[in-house]
Structure 1
Amino acid sequence: MPHTELTVGDLIDLLSACDRGAPVRQAMNPFFPMAHRVERVVQATDETGLPVVYLAEGRDADTQLGHLPPEVAVELAWQSPVQAPPRRPRRSAGGK
């Protein structure tokens, strides 16, 4: 099955529905999902000479922001939804 890549036009279309003042972050590593701050956008050419755009994280120590929020990992299908176990009735002080 051929893999289609997101284009700059696709990204612009997706971002146009978002709050323009919201920070941009990258969700990385589906097996240990983390959030990273995006610092730069770089256009280059790939090994075949075609244009490609990279979203790059910064070099500062605080670029990795921590664990990805669980709801984002679920939305990306990187994790399954987790439900809290059902609550059991509490026992009274008398042991009944």
Structure 2
Amino acid sequence: MAHTELTVGDLIDLLSACDRSAPVRQAMNPFFPMAHHLAQVVQCMDETGQTAVYLAEGRDADTQLGHLPPEAAVALAWHSPVQPPPRRPRRTAGGA
């Protein structure tokens, strides 16, 4: 199966359906999902000589926002939806 990379055009198309005033964040590490601020967009040549665009996180200490919201991890298919455990009937004070 060939791996196809997301292009700038693909990204623009996907972002065009989003709220223009929403902040852009980067989700990293599917095994320990974290959210990061994006600070820069840079276009340059990659190691193969192909033009590439890089989205970079900030350098500030607060650039990592913390854990990725579970809803985002599920939407990215990094985590399965979690169901709450089934409720058990409560015991009464008499032990019944």
TM-score (normalizing by structure 1): 0.97
Name segments (4+ residues, structure 1) moved above 4 Å: none
- For the aligned residue pairs, the C-alpha RMSD in angstroms reads 0.7
| Residue in 2 that maps onto 1:28 | 28
- Which amino acid is 1:40 matched to? Q
The percent identity for this pair of structures is: 82
- Deviating more after overlay: 45-54 vs 8-17: 45-54
What does residue 84 of structure 1 align with?
A: 84
Quick one: distance in 2 between partners of 1:72 and 1:48? 32
Q: Could you report, residue by residue, the CA deviation over 1:50-87 in whole angstroms, capped at 9, with x for unpaired residues? A: 11000000000100000000111111111111101110
* Residue identity opposite 2:45 in structure 1: T
Q: Structure 1 unaligned runs (5+)?
A: none
User: Is there any run of 5+ residues in structure 2 with no aligned partner, and where?
Assistant: none
User: How many residues of Structure 1 are paired with residues of Structure 2 in the alignment?
Assistant: 96
1:69 aligns with 2:62: no
1:92, 1:82 → 2: CA distance?
A: 29
Separation (CA, whole Å) in 2 of partners of 1:61 and 1:50: 32
